[in-house]
Amino acid sequence: MISLRLLSRPDCHLCEEMRAEVDRLLEGEPHLWEIVDVDSDDELARRWSDAIPVLFVNERLFAKGRIPKLAARLRLLRAAEGIEDAR
């Protein structure tokens, strides 16, 4: 199971786009979302507020702002496996 954590905020259009794109890229792969309001925690807000959406794959930072376009599915799957250089 691929664990996905998306730092977001209510009505964030880019966040919704990132989630839909990741769901499309991981179609057929078991994955579970945790959506976290970045403003729900002072430390999260301090660190990530200006960077949302922020996506973690299996607890590792994967993307800020947008999903990398080059080989996105392969990079997501490699990140899920814990391979550091997913490029």
Q: Domain spans of the chain?
A: 2-80
> Which residue type is seen at 22?
V
Nearest to 65, CA basis, from 53, 73, 55: 53
**Whole-prediction pTM value?**
0.84
Nearest-angstrom CA–CA distance, 85 and 87: 6
pLDDT surpassing 50 at residue 87: no
Average pLDDT, the chain: 90
Nearest-angstrom CA–CA distance, 85 and 2: 17
The whole-number pLDDT of residue 82 equals 80
CATH architecture of 2-80: 3-Layer(aba) Sandwich (3.40)
